[in-house]
Amino acid sequence: MHVLATAGHVDHGKSTLLRALTGMEPDRWEAERRRGMTLDLGFVWTTLPTGTTVAFVDVPGHERFVPTMLAGIGPVPAVLFVVAADEGWMPQSQEHLDALDALGVRHGLLAVTRSDLKDPQLARTQALQHLATSSLGQIPSVCVSATTGAGLDELRTALGSLVTDLPAPDLSADIRLWVDRVFTIHGAGTVVTGTLSAGTLHVGDELQVGPGGRRVRLRGLQSLGQPVSSAPAVARVALNLRGLPREALRRGDALLTPGAWLATSTLDVRLSHPPAAELPRKVMLHTGTAAVATRLRPLGEDTARLTLAHELPLRIGDRALLRDPGTHRIPTGITVLDVAPPLLRRRGAATTRATELATMAATPDGAAELRRRGIIRRNELIAMGAPEPPGTPQAAGWLLDPTLLAQRATQLAKAVTTHATTNPLDPGLPLETARRLTGMPDIRLVELLLTPPMTLTHGRVHPTKPTTTLPDTIRHAITEIRAELAQRPFVAPEAHRLTELGLGPKQLAAAVRAGELLKIADGIYLAPGADNEAITRLRSLPSPFTLSQARQALNTTRRVALPLMELLARRGITRQLPNGTHELRSTAQV
């Protein structure tokens, strides 16, 4: 299926043409048929000779119903532009064209109606000249008469050519269905209709009413009046929603893939018709079927910040238009550049932002977004409409720009080294402190920064090469201990002696990290190299040897000999035999 919207001045025969083309009545309300004027959106369809089905969204042409017209053309990819031969180009013709141009619609067909009343060539030439100045450019045209049927076959052929050239929709895209009608069917409940421009709907799908809103289940699905189990884009669809009252939805709401869209009320945009400074400050933003009061703040020549009265599900690259509610004109279209822009609080921030926006493309670029933001949640980047850059460093659902990662790693390495130097008794920088210093939003991201010379141990970040700086008081105490150990290398100082010298657990740990002492076990400290000296002495013993023989060879007590032998065993230097004796492994090296 393909979906087109009509456009054109009031009473130029849009609905009459569709009636003749499809055999269906596009005017849904009795008041419309009585007055001969479309007041609301109508929907009809037909099958072309090629077998292709084309559905039409019929929009009102009267200036009082321009917001309704915009709701009709907003979600559709192509237009059937109607101009009457006996009246030619008219004010609403131009307003409809301004809207199409602002939305960037590039596919269309001109139908010159009432060709039985007047020679259509002048009206066709005039209309094509106007259309050529818009995003539509040069489009084909057909002269028709709904009354006589002249030109209808040619119109069907032209429609077949038009829809063949339309770009293929993304059938796997996230759902964003802009609601254009809401009503209740007895026994079924709430039903909404809309134009599905991308993605695929299935009966049983869960949808979300706006970003972060209520979730509903798709109970039933119709397309072109027939029940279907699924509907791929592009399609006109009617959705029966389970457990949702009619009052919970209205035209302009959107049904979304849950969790896939950001809700934004502040966005930075590029204008299709600058300068921004000449635009009204209060405008209506029209996108999809939504119309939202908006405040405009110029930034650059062709860029501005928009603040919406309420949130909308928008993505980078979305097209929309601004309408001046005072003059009823459409001054410009917009392309969304950023749906989560930075605050402009400091003096000069707006100028800086304008410079940045001038370099930004109007198409989603995940790598560029990550460079600008440095750190962003993966699902937030995707919800903005930007793809995840391949090979991006990530942890805990966050993505990090590689350049920022390198900068923060260098920053952390300096902080860790400084901490180790100034706090020799407080080993390692606490992980939470490291997170704050580097500005990481999640403590799990710190691990991505731990490149050499940094390691993480017991929740603290340490230099890979421990610092050798010790306070003078500790160094003097160690000097005394080392002098005593020089006389009897394996007689570890008692606890009272360590306390007497002011060496508590922190001071001893610092001495071990600095390589000034060797820790054998808790409370047992020897001089560096004592383990190698022990191996040399044990080699002089017959193999295997007992713990008592080892103690005597080392000239020490059981208090030291037992943990020392356990240390050597853990290192694979000795092993204990089943009978309790010990032997040196043949591969043991001093």
41 and 184 assigned to the same domain: no
235 plus 303 within the same structural domain: no
Name the pLDDT band for 574 (thresholds 50, 70, 90).
Answer: very high
pLDDT confidence of residue 73:
61
449, pLDDT greater than 70:
yes
Sign of torsion over alpha carbons 116, 117, 121, 126: negative
Q: What is the CATH number of the domain that holds 568?
A: 1.10.10.10
Q: Does residue 13 share a domain with residue 137?
A: yes
Low-confidence winner among 34-43, 86-95, 96-105, 276-285 (lowest mean pLDDT) = 34-43
What pLDDT sits at residue 558?
95
Residue 361: pLDDT over 70? yes
pLDDT of residue 289: 87
Residue 498 confidence class, pLDDT cut points 50, 70, 90: very high
Report DSSP state, residue 43: E
CATH number at residue 40: 3.40.50.300
Q: Is 51 left (phi over 0), alpha (psi -120 to 50) or beta?
A: left
Does one domain contain both 106 and 212? no
Q: What is the pLDDT of residue 310?
A: 94
pLDDT recorded at residue 465: 67
pLDDT of 28 above 60: no
Of the three residues 164, 192, 211, the one that is the final residue of a domain is 164
Q: Is residue 508 part of a domain?
A: no
209 and 185 in a single domain? The answer is yes
Q: Which helix (H) or strand (E) holds 324?
A: strand 319-324
Residue 32: per-residue pLDDT: 32
Note the pLDDT of residue 236. 87
Lowest mean pLDDT among 49-63, 147-161, 263-277, 435-449: 49-63
Query: Cα–Cα distances in Å, from 476 out to 401, 482, 489, 503, 506?
Result: 48, 10, 19, 11, 16
**61 found inside a domain:** yes
Supply the CATH number for residue 224's domain.
Answer: 2.40.30.10
Same domain as 281, residue 234: no
> Residue 62, class by beta-carbon neighbours within 10 Å (0-12 exposed, 13-18 middle, 19+ buried)?
middle
- Please state, rounded to an integer, the average pLDDT across all residues of the chain: 89
Query: Is 332 a domain residue?
Result: yes
pLDDT band of 512, cuts 50, 70, 90: confident
Higher pLDDT residue, 102 or 305? Answer: 305
pLDDT for residue 351 is more than 90: yes
Tell me whether residue 555 is in a domain. yes
Q: Domain for residue 576, yes or no?
A: yes
Lowest-pLDDT choice from 21-30, 246-255, 468-477: 21-30
Picking from 117, 111, 148, the residue whose alpha carbon sits closest to that of residue 131 is 111
Is the predicted pLDDT of residue 425 greater than 80, yes or no?
A: no
Q: Where are the beta strands (DSSP E) in 173-302?
A: 176-185, 189-196, 200-202, 206-209, 215-223, 226-227, 230-232, 235-242, 254-256, 263-271, 282-287, 290-298
pLDDT band at residue 34 under the 50/70/90 scheme: very low
Q: Which of 196-210, 296-310, 421-435, 487-501 has the lowest mean pLDDT?
A: 421-435
**225 in a structural domain:** yes
253 vs 449: CA distance, rounded Å: 43
151 and 36 in a single domain? The answer is yes
Q: 182 in a domain, yes or no?
A: yes
154 and 185 housed in the same domain:
no
My answer on whether 352 and 285 are in the same domain is: yes
Q: What is the pLDDT, as a whole number, of residue 245?
A: 87
pLDDT higher than threshold 80 for residue 457? yes
**45 and 157 together in one domain:** yes
**Which pLDDT score is estimated for 15?**
87
Residue 417, pLDDT score: 86
pLDDT at 185: 84
Q: Which residues contact 82 (CB under 8 A, 6 or more apart)?
A: 6, 7, 8, 12, 13, 14, 17, 110, 111, 113
Is residue 579 situated within a structural domain?
yes
Distance from C-alpha of 564 to C-alpha of 559, rounded to nearest angstrom: 9
| Last-in-domain residue among 110, 142, 164 | 164
pLDDT at 318: 93
- Residue 558 lies in domain: 529-590
Residue finishing a domain among 199, 224, 256:
256
Q: Is the pLDDT of residue 142 over 60?
A: yes
Omega of the bond leading into 453 within 30 degrees of 0 (cis): yes
Number of H helices, E strands in the chain: 17, 31
Over residues 370-419, the pLDDT tens digits come to: 999 999 999 999 999 999 999 999 999 999 999 999 999 999 999 988 88
Asked whether residue 50 falls in the same domain as residue 191, the answer is: no
Q: Are residues 247 and 272 in the same domain?
A: no
Q: Are 135 and 6 in contact (CB under 8 A)?
A: no
Q: Structurally, how many domains does the chain consist of?
A: 4
Q: How many angstroms separate the first and last alpha carbons of the chain?
A: 83
Q: For the chain, how many residues are written?
A: 590
Does the pLDDT at position 467 exceed 90? Answer: no
Asked whether the predicted pLDDT for residue 522 surpasses 90, the reply is: yes
pLDDT at 468 over 60: no
